[in-house]
Structure 1
Amino acid sequence: MIHVCPLFSGSSGNSTYIGTKEAGVLIDAGRSCKSILSALDQCGIDPSAVKAILITHDHNDHISGLRVLAKRLRAPVYASEETLCGILRAGCAEKDTQLMELSGPSDIAGMGVIPFDTPHDVAHSQGFRLEAGERTVGFATDLGRVTPEIWEGLYGADLVFLEANYDEAMLAVSSYPYYLKTRIRSDRGHLSNTDSAQCIRRLALSGTGRFILGHLSKENNTPDLAGQTVRQVLVESGLEEGRDFLLQVARRLEPSQPVCF
């Protein structure tokens, strides 16, 4: 049985466990080691089950806890070459931390891991497709648009964890400076609730039945707004929650209910 455990998700820090009770990976380590270990415990996952840490990109909310966590778990760190360089520049890895370039399909923690590029304002960010037996999870956050490569990475997955970063109306009237609003809306920024809903609609109509919305902005979104936007689009497409799809919004500061299937 695969467990998808969103530990933290948002600009305050990101980390998600994906795998079985015996072996799996953490995607991102953007909170303290202590916080992540406590969150794993709350989800019923022993730290020894973490066999590797996958890093999407080198922004602080994805790597701030990495140095201590990787040392504590003695787990290798996988990321693109550019992200690994960013991790080193940020001082987020010990000298003896095993840094592994992830440039193609790899066998990690008993799962097939397929990275795909995501358009974000860093040198080389990635999402991941994780295949465990007959179960597949697609994971994509911090992306300004859904490219054909991302679609290929998510298509046909049993569960998709997808960014729904901001509500367009909230961002428009927020106190953010113009340049930051422009960055967020750009094709190397973040997905809006509407962008996420349209991607999820396509995935749901093609057979994906489980969705987790993540990386919500604290200032420019709410869990209710994100969930409502996606649900409305799915219902208008003739899909029924509980029959055709299950939808969850990942919490920002504490573990969310694990999805097990």
Structure 2
Amino acid sequence: MDGGGMNYAAHASKQLGAKPAVVTRLNKEDDHVVKAFEAAGIDCYPVYTPSSTLMTLEYKTRDVDQRNLYVKGTAGTITPSQLDEIDAKAIVTNSSLRGEVELVFFQKMRERKGVLLSADVQGFIRVLRGESLVYEPWTEMEAILKHLDILKSDAVEAEYLTGEKDIEKAARFFANLGPKEIILTHSKGMLVHADGKDYHYEFHAESMDGRTGRGDTCVGSYLTKRLTLPPKEAGKWAAAVTSLKIEKLGVFDRPVILVEAFIQKYYKD
């Protein structure tokens, strides 16, 4: 199936009424991915490469934080010049493994005034060895985090980098390095750390059929709502959208009215 962080994040953003654009690299044989974005009303700026990033994701238990990843091919590195034609209010990087987005990208994007800049930890600690993705120390962590406004991590990645099982302590560790807002997902829900405060949200899903893409959907919906709402309220939308996405395989495609009702049911103050 067509995956990729940009796929899940962009569709979630579009469903919430934003105008997302996707910058990606892929093999020309996978051009149906570009056409699918365009059919959904999402602008897509592809660079065609010898291979798409081809990944197998294997869950061995119902714990969504525990999984194995295997890679058959990679599409190379997103460069700053690929965004030259795009005027964005927020830039969300959803790389799958180390090398897809590099330090120079964040240095260049930080030069843009008034842009929310976000990244996902997974794209920096996952390293390709043979066909397997393994965690390795992130030597450029401080250099990259100082350029970010928002960082996304899951509980396993956070513990690996910070040594903290306590997700609130892990979030503060990251925040002290630069990004003032941290989205930290775990098997039961998510934490938003912002302005020195912690906001916890439990996921409510009737099935786990759509667990793949959970984190990317979460960050895409959070960033979209963060453009107009404070962190606590944006977190409610992200938790609701993610809960509904977990129930269904594929990208998030549920109506906004359903998300609003979900928020009233589960996340009303």
> TM over 0.5: same fold?
no
User: What TM-score comes out, normalization by structure 1 length?
Assistant: 0.43
User: What TM-score comes out, normalization by structure 2 length?
Assistant: 0.42
Q: Which structure: greater helix fraction?
A: 2
Relative contact order higher in (CA < 8 Å, ≥ 6 apart) = 1
